[in-house]
Amino acid sequence: MRVKVTATKGARLGVLCLALVLAACGGGGGSSSDAVSSSSGTTTGGSAGTSSGGASTGGTSSGDTTGSTTGGTSSGDTSGSTSGGTASAGIADDGLLGWATVAAAGGSPTGGFSSIVSGTTTYAPVSCTADSMKTLRDCLYRSKKSGSSNDDSRYASASSRPDWSKWEVHNGVTGGWKNYPVVIYLKGRIVADTNDSGTVLAQADYEAGTDPLCTATGVTKQACQQAVTQAKLERGNIAIIGLAGADGSLPTFHHGWLLVKSVSNVIVRNVRFVPNTDFWPSFEACSSGVTDKDYCSWNAEPDGLTILGSTRVWVDHCDFTDGAALSGAQTDKSLYKYYDGLLDIKSGSDYVTVSYSKFYNHHKAMLIGSTDTNDGSYRITFHHNYIKWVNQRMPRVRNGQVHIFNNLYEGPKQTDASQQYYFGYAIGLGYNAQVYSERNAFDITGAAATDLISANFDAWAQYFTDVSSWLNGSAVDLNTVAQTLINAQNGSGSKPFIGAVSWAPTSHYSYSADTTVDAVRTRVAASAGVGKVSPVPTGFTAP
């Protein structure tokens, strides 16, 4: 296992690192004539012209061939576009803005890049490089331990466990890392179906449940698959950062499920998520007129990334996809139903920003909130993301003050049940949702305005605001669409559409929005996804 622990030069890192993350990691919006200024005076730091360069080149990898992605270097962060202007190709980003920057406790997420001061002790960042599922499990285990002993139950005996004192260390950090900020570098292509012995498991292995990762708790099927493939972040002040492999392969979590649970201050950046299939999905219902059960509604278990009950989380420059071979009409009708969400945000997660990421070749992309009850605030910003060949939930929202701006949606409209990766709807207005949509570009062949949003749920929103979005290059009135759809679903009942949401993003944080459809198209297509910016801030050396 390759492990590297880094320490900083003095306690001043705690002060400096936030600026480094905001600037070099992509934070801070440049001022411009079309910048939207916060009336609260809150800013995200950074200035125009600051960039980490981002010349990161990823190659194809065996069995997972989306193709190489080459990120161009940037002469500066041009996120603050001039009025009516277009964004230049190869730019960096201003991803760290929005709700994640204004959390009540702690402010902007720094992940594992900023020192932690406890009393008179300063804990400088440590880092760990994972190039296999086993080493990723080792990194995560050490990250949640405070003592020097390694009692990881995955190993049959103490002598077989990694000796932490033998890992490369600085400043005498030989024990657990629970008190330290941690950066885990996910390097190259990690196949999550791999057990600790290096064997790739298949459906029959999960059903048997005989792998040591499953026998410890006696689980089979879904639970066994989860025990093998799920990586859990069970502590905060941590970052998962993708780096290209030694062979040039994209940083990919293949068939893995990253769970961020009940923690705060997390960054996930530059990682390509290819979620696993659930071999045992449960049938739910068929839509009217659909006679083939394989094209009906199914509930599967694994996600690509799930954020549960967590705060101050920044997901940036990631890819989320079923795989490169899947696009358009899904000819294998028994396949799509095995997948669940690409990115789900649930259990009251709050102060989250999802920026400059790609969602493609999938059926259900992103869920915000999973219950028709008031289970949290869900203050989330979703901006400059590229969504293509996705059917629905982009995102589907329950509760929350969700700001959706400058995203690019592409793909033809779905016209029959067999087209499982064609466009169904983009924004789902569910229970108690207060969505503020702004300047999104919907390039959906064959779509009408009423196709872009949905209120077709048991409990739906009564509020919605859209500002200046476009359908196939022309202005579209989504406010009237929301009123029409919600009132139609309500059936003249007691919960009609009320009107605009009761909050405004500018009252909470500063940001710059591109004001023309061409600017949105150009910026998002050039900048979203893995390999477009340097994933490691200035001052830190990637392994």
- Please compute, for residue 93, the number of CA atoms within 13 A of its CA located in the half-sphere on the CB side: 38
- Catalytic, out of 393, 396, 439, 521: 393
Two tokens, residue 174: 């030989």
Provide CB contacts within 8 A for 139, sequence distance 6+: 3, 128, 129, 130, 182, 184
Q: What's the per-residue H, E or C state across 129-193?
A: EECCHHHHHHHHHHHCCCCCCCCCCCCCCHHHCCCHHHCECCCCCCCCCCCCCEEEEEECEEECC
The yes-or-no answer on residue 393 being catalytic is yes
Beta strands in 20-92 (DSSP E): 35-36, 57-58, 69-70
Question: 216 with 153: CB under 8 angstroms?
Answer: yes
Other C-beta atoms closer than 10 Å to the C-beta of 175 total 18
Q: Bridge-partner residues for 352, per DSSP?
A: 313, 380
DSSP three-state, residue 389? strand
Give the position of tokens 């028994």: 334
Beta strands in 226-372 (DSSP E): 230-233, 238-243, 252-254, 257-261, 264-269, 272-274, 282-285, 297-299, 305-308, 311-316, 319-321, 343-346, 350-355, 358-364, 366-368
In this structure, what DSSP letter does residue 451 have?
Answer: G
Quick one: CA dihedral 483, 488, 490, 496, positive or negative? positive
Quick one: CA dihedral 508, 513, 515, 520, positive or negative? negative
Q: How many angstroms separate the CA atoms of 51 and 76, rounded?
A: 5
Q: How far, in Å, are 157, 376, 478, 499 from residue 503 at the CA level?
A: 56, 16, 18, 12
CA terminus-to-terminus distance, the chain = 13
DSSP three-state, residue 213? helix
DSSP three-state, residue 206? helix
Catalytic sites, residue numbers: 393
